[in-house]
Structure 1
Amino acid sequence: MQQQPLLWLVTLLPHAIQALPFALSPTTWSVREIPTSQRAAREAARVAVQYLNYYSGSPHQLVYLDVVRKATVKSIPEIGDKFYIEFTTKDYQTNQEARVCTASVFFRQKQAKPAIHINCTTSGSLTKARENDYNFYRQMKKQVTPISGKDIPDSFGFIEPDMLPVWYLAIMGSSFVVWEKTTEERSYTMAQIKTVQQLPRKDDSIAFDYDILLHELPTEEMIYCSLHIVWIPGKPPKVDYECSHNAENGSGTESEEGSTFFGNFK
């Protein structure tokens, strides 16, 4: 008598397995190769580069995407798409080839901030970059009058040489914002610093308030963001930010719902 319930469960088990959502079918989770020129492949690589720039902790070691060498994607129904990308980067300052990277970039449905894992070859310019970081840091700590600026670069694309490290720091800090905001449908790059103001600090860090413009694709909108960046050499910056859509002439409307300030201050 006690064996009948067990037999009944064994009989129903195959039907229960078949009813699981998306689940135990090997074809559902198959990985397929996609063209390296495809927008999805390049955008996955670009957000991986943003992640790399942020976690480098070095404004003088920034890189940008060069060539996507290989791209595959695994689609997980009702969860999202996971891209596996191999790509090269170039140094932001010299335009020389810098690193070869492989990354997984997981875009989850209806959710920003893709999950990223990345591995890159060692950069030969690391020592020089760190030296430049400390020179900039020491200079900022010695400032008697906090530095400020606006419209960087200007309408001709020019940046004053002494403001270049301030620009690089903004790119590194905005990389955190871009990583958090990026989805499979929308991506961002920093276009311009509208204003920047150094903030005096009594601890070991340096700090800046930025108002920046992010270029959003594919909408082509300019997104206005306020950033508060605190940094010490060798560590990723701490960033607070608030972004608004429909920015015109440095003013934004339609703030992100429930925003106040986002960031990684904890």
Structure 2
Amino acid sequence: MLSVIHTHLESVSSRLCYATVLRFINSSSSGPRSSPERIMKAFCSLWLLLSLVELSPAPPASQEPPLVCRGATDPAPPQPETQEDMASTGDLEPTHFPARRAAQVALHHLNTLHGSPFRVFGLQQVHKASAEDVAAGGRKYSLDFSVTDWASGSAGPALRCSAEVMFPRTQQHSGPEVQLRCEALQQVSSTAEEHAFYQKYVTPDSAVSAQHLPDSYGNMSEDMQPFWRLARVAASFIMLRESSENTEFNMVQVASITQQESSEKQLMLDYVVLLHDLPSQEIVQWKLLVSWSPDRGVRVLQTEWQPRCPHATKPPN
């Protein structure tokens, strides 16, 4: 009832003030105004002031960082597809999270060994997977899977691999241990394309610099694709090191690339890469100093985790 009366009074006040304003405008040249008009003018001024105060937004209650930066008081670890998957041993479903995650770790290991600006492997399929708990403390995954060379496109031949991936269970994070075997891997060697790329950019007329590879529409120039693949290989070193039983990393974008001078006849590049962790849906940013040549391969010389929140002091793991 009170709200109805309040609304009615507001409506009456609005009409009275509106009429008063019109009279002021129409009688602006008719001499001095009467006392009731001056009283009404004062009332309207006060009413308008109160209206503005009521409509003004309140200041924020807290200037603290948002919850995404502060973090939950008791954060829950990323969950796998099912609890049964996480605890299971023996044969695993090849398409489920534990098998796929372990295969991704083996893939990162493969790229650190054999990746280049013209060779980066992607997971095609997990054929068989099993898990067992080991007495030393950890879980070992045995895998049979196939990969393809992304640089060759969908027409490239599949490479069959087998691997054992060991996730140690320790107080402090320790990267997984990988033993990998791939058929025909000995045939992978430097190509004429890699040597031509090296000669073109090791002493360029102007340093290479780019941002957002690919862009928000998924586009990337052909000239930048070798630099993207080189970043993907370099990111594999980080993704391998940071992986655990609760993660599944993939590089989603090269945020920036800047070529640096090198006195060692190496292609030297500063990268900022964005890594996506599938279970937690978190995007993690890393800065990498990377060197490459056909003879010495890819080397990650410096790594720096770049938190999105100013108070953060250490990487997720």
Q: Say if 2:274 is the partner of 1:213.
A: yes
Amino acid paired to 2:147: T
Q: Scaled by the length of structure 1, what TM-score is found?
A: 0.78
What TM-score does the superposition give when structure 2 sets the normalisation length?
A: 0.66
Correspondence list, 1:14-163, <5 A? 32-76=90-134, 79-93=137-151, 94-95=153-154, 96-110=156-170, 111-122=173-184, 126=188, 130-163=191-224
Structure 2 unaligned blocks of 5 or more: 1-88
Aligned partner letter, 2:255: K
Which runs of 4 or more aligned residues in structure 1 lie more than 4 Å from their structure 2 counterparts after TM superposition? none
User: Is 1:170 aligned to 2:231, yes or no?
Assistant: yes
Supply the distance in 2 between the matched residues of 1:253 and 1:165 (Cα, whole angstroms). Answer: 35
The structure number with the bigger radius of gyration is 2
1:36-63 deviations in whole A, cap 9, x for unaligned? 1121001101110111011114231211
Identify the range of structure 1 (200-209 vs 91-100) with the bigger mean alpha-carbon deviation.
91-100
Is the 2:255–2:271 contact (alpha carbons within 8 Å) kept by the matching residues of 1? Answer: yes
- Residue-by-residue CA offset, 1:204-249 (whole Å, 9 max, x unaligned): 21110011110012110110111110122143422121123447xx
In 1: Cα distance, 2:250 partner to 2:311 partner: 20
- Specify whether residues 237 and 54 from structure 1 end up closer, same or farther in structure 2 by C-alpha distance, changes over 3 A only: same
Instruction: Say how many residue pairs are matched.
Output: 225
Supply the distance in 1 between the matched residues of 2:133 and 2:307 (Cα, whole angstroms).
Answer: 31
| C-alpha distance 97-198 of structure 1, shift in aligned 2 (>3 A) | same
Alpha-carbon shift at residue 87 of structure 1 (Å): 0.3
What is the SS of the residue equivalent to 2:224? helix
- Tell me if the contact between 2:115 and 2:121 (Cα under 8 Å) persists in the aligned partners: no
Q: Is the 8 A contact 2:121 2:150 kept in 1?
A: yes
What do you get for the CA RMSD once the two structures are aligned?
Answer: 2.4
CA distance in 1, matches of 2:311, 2:289: 19
One-letter amino acid of the counterpart of residue 122, structure 2: Y
- Do the aligned residues in 2 keep the contact of 1:58 with 1:130 (CA within 8 Å)? no
Separation in 2, partners of 1:159, 1:216? 23
Relative to its length, the structure with more strand (as a share) is 1
- Is the Cα contact below 8 Å between 1:231 and 1:238 reproduced in 2? yes
Q: By how many angstroms is 1:125 displaced? A: 7.7
Matched, 1:185 2:258: no
Amino-acid identity (%):
26
For residues 89-122 of structure 1, the C-alpha deviation after alignment (integer angstroms, 9 at most, x for no partner) is 1121212333100000000114331000101011
Structure 1 residue 72, shift from structure 2 partner: 1.1
